[in-house]
Amino acid sequence: MKYELLVFDWDGTVLDSAGAIVKAIQASCRDLGLPVPSDAQASHVIGLGLADAMRHAVPDLPADRVPEMVERYRFHYLSGDHELNLFQGITQLLSDLQAAGHILAVATGKSRLGLNRALQHSDLGPLFQSSRCADECHSKPHPQMLEELMSEFGVTHEVTLMIGDTSHDLLMATNAGVDALAVTYGAHPHEYLLEHKPLACLHTVQELDLWLKNNA
């Protein structure tokens, strides 16, 4: 086993939620009479902590309106999050990795409340041994989430692998001295992920599964 600890991003990597996040950001801007970001602008902030994401998606957002924007985003996203689907094959992939003896964890821009809700809806909670959220740690790409997970399980950066769909995930891995895999079926486009030099860019869960079985 080359990698003992496998750390997964959630939105856009495990859960097919990128489109719903983009729509929730755009609807929140309409509610508040703010400039509505394009799909590309809104999807770029996926993976950041919620307040940071709102500030980046709407650069002209006054600081005193950030809480209002966050509240509207939560309203729109949570109204439909129970209808979102896991990427096809991800449950079996995670089950196989757990059975093979890997430690599985989540590092996400979601809040603790949001991740717990998602784990409950998806029934994936028992497959993950730990997790870190943006309201408990510095937001990505700061390395704190990965550093805390490595410390929790007593593993080194050489045997830790980060798996995510955004540049924020890949930069966090770089900052923590950890190898990273990119998946291109989530929020950020293939060419943008390649710039951050992951071990591989994988286009489907099936490709991810094969890579991990052959290399992890």
The per-residue pLDDT for range 127-149, each reduced to its tens digit, is: 999 999 999 999 999 999 999 99
- Degrees to nearest 5, angle at CA 8 with 5 and 10: 155
pLDDT at residue 50 in the model? 83
Peptide bond into 141 cis (omega under 30): yes
Residue 171: pLDDT band (50, 70, 90) is very high
Domain boundaries, the chain: 5-16+84-215, 18-82
Residue 51: is its pLDDT beyond 90? no
Between CA 43 and CA 56 the distance in angstroms is: 11
Q: What is the mean pLDDT of residues 60-67?
A: 89
Residue 46: is its pLDDT beyond 90? no
Class of domain 5-16+84-215: alpha beta
Q: What integer best gives the mean pLDDT of the chain?
A: 94
Backbone angles phi, psi at 155, to 5 degrees: -115, 160
pLDDT at residue 100 in the model? 97
Q: What is the mean pLDDT of residues 111-123?
A: 94
Joined tokens for residue 39: 């799909």
pLDDT at residue 196 in the model? 92
pLDDT at residue 157 in the model? 97
Q: What is the mean pLDDT of residues 36-62?
A: 88
Looking at domain 18-82, its CATH architecture is Orthogonal Bundle (1.10)
Task: Please report, rounded to a whole number, the percentage of residues in the chain having pLDDT higher than 70.
Answer: 100
pLDDT at residue 184 in the model? 94
pLDDT at residue 88 in the model? 96
Residue 82: pLDDT band (50, 70, 90) is confident
Identify the CA nearest to 105 among candidates 30, 159, 168, 45.
159
Active site residue 9: yes
Joined tokens for residue 54: 């709102």
pLDDT at residue 1 in the model? 84
Joined tokens for residue 150: 């490595």
86: which DSSP letter?
B
Peptide bond into 37 cis (omega under 30): no
pLDDT at residue 181 in the model? 97
Q: Are 44 and 188 in contact (CB under 8 A)?
A: yes
> What crossing angle do the helices spanning 90-99 and 205-215 adopt, rounded to 10°?
10
| Encoded amino acid at 187, one letter | A
Joined tokens for residue 38: 């394009």
Q: Are 44 and 50 in contact (CB under 8 A)?
A: no
pLDDT at residue 60 in the model? 84
Q: How many Cα atoms sit within 13 Å of 154 on the Cβ side?
A: 0
